[in-house]
Chains A and B, each alone.
Chain A
Amino acid sequence: MITTDICIIGAGPVGLFAVFEAGLLKMRCHLIDALPQVGGQLSEIYPQKPIYDIPGYPAINAQTLVDNLMEQIAPFNPGFTLGERVESLDRQEDGSYQITTSDGTAVHCQVVVIAGGLGSFEPRKPEILNLEQFEGKGVAYMVKNPEQLRNRRVVLAGGGDSALDWTIFLAEIAKEVTLVHRSDSFRGAPDSAEKVVELAKQGRINLVLQSNITSINGNGHLQEVTITAKDKSVTTLEADNLIPLFGLTPKLGPIADWGLSIDKSAISVDTTDYSTNVERIYAIGDINTYPGKLKLILCGFHEAALMCQSAFHHVHPNQKLSFKYTTVNGVPTF
């Protein structure tokens, strides 16, 4: 069990900066993120894009901002649980919380801060009849252990880099590889696209273009995949595994079930301290909403600072908080 003062759900820029503000008030933080790296949208979606509205930086590369934030919070030694999604939140008798992740990691904290941006990034699922019924029974949205696909009949769907890369890789170890793509051309890396076409010419993979997978079937485990072409012709293929690779899309996930007041996929907060309607749970950054809300990183930074002033009273109920400028006191660590 990990014990901390504040558990921050989401390790994007706002979640990271909250560690700094909490640290100034002598509160320890642990961050959890579903992505395998810190930085949230900045690192996952646009690491090389310049950002122009961070005070003090006429322009700053997104990944550089994340790196700088990591440097800024390093003195406070935050804990990280990455690549795991928060699954449950249990209020304890004393008002504290225990959080449990998808991999069973447990975190005990006095305050929960949701800094989850637009939610956790989850696989984009295509419309295929019976798809969810076979999740974990032959259907997976990523390849975690390629060895499990050795000598199997694998069908991949998609036309991006992931679909191309895994088709090339699995051609070496799977018994049979089929790539189904809705278009007749690939916009992934040209080199990868050429390799896939060449593998198909050599008969080492099956390439099914201008087609979509429309349904799947099996007896407890995936057994067959039905493919419908643009000309409406239908074929059925025997398969052990199906891997749809259509990128990631943000979802609110289990947060939606925690009794929080939610308005259009965002958490309603009180703007005096960015607290939610549930005691000791705060929401900062893009995941919250209030009249006049602006989804800007700098607004999230402001929200983090105010949140920490309020959270202090839950973490240190018997201490008086006196505000101090860092220009006077520097950055006092633990």
Chain B
Amino acid sequence: MITFTVEDRDGEQKPVEVPEGISLSLMEVLKASDYNILATCGGMALCATCHVQVVNGFDNLPPAQDLELDMLDTLPDADSDSRLACQIRVDEAVEGALFRIKSEEPS
């Protein structure tokens, strides 16, 4: 199992366990875990509605590609540890990480 922690918009932290070898993005796992995330574009790094801050484990993740960086640059609250959850594969690289949901809560 791969285990990481998610902090919701209220600051509550919960561990999330995902079986190894599944081919899902962090965005898909967050949605499947009932976190309220829009993910308008379905995972194409085109809407930034799955913005997360990587509080722990940022350096373990593969670097963001241009498309993701372009989109992050349009966000007023993005920082150097920001990522789009749809661009992060859930594999051993996220083991032990702490992700804080930054995207706005859907209305």
Contact = CB atoms under 8 A, between A and B. Distances in A.
Select the residue from A157, A249, A256 with max chain B CB neighbours within 10 A: A249
A45 B46 contact: yes
By size class, the interface of chain B is 20 to 34
Interface string B73-87: 111111100000000
A138 interface: no
Contact of A249 (B47, B78, B79): B47
Nearest to B80: A183
Contacts of B73: 159-160, 183, 186-188
Interface residues of A, number: 32
Contact of A264 (B46, B76, B78, B106): B106
Given A265-B38, A295-B42, A246 B107 contact: no
A46 B46 contact: yes
A118 B76 contact: no
A252 interface: yes
A291 B19 CA distance: 25
Contacts of B75: 124, 246
B36 interface: yes
Interface SS, B side:
loop
A49 B77 CA distance: 27
B42 A246 contact: no
Nearest to A186: B73
Interface in A239-286: 244, 246-247, 249-253, 256, 264-265
Contacts of A246: 74-76
B44 to A, nearest CB: 6
B76 A45 contact: no
A182 B74 CA distance: 10
7 contacts: A41-B41, A127-B77, A160-B70, A182-B76, A187-B69, A212-B76, A247-B74
Interface of A: 41, 45-46, 49, 118-119, 124-127, 157-160, 182-183, 186-188, 212, 244, 246-247, 249-253, 256, 264-265, 295
Interface of B: 36, 38, 40-42, 44, 46-49, 66, 69-70, 73-79, 104, 106-107
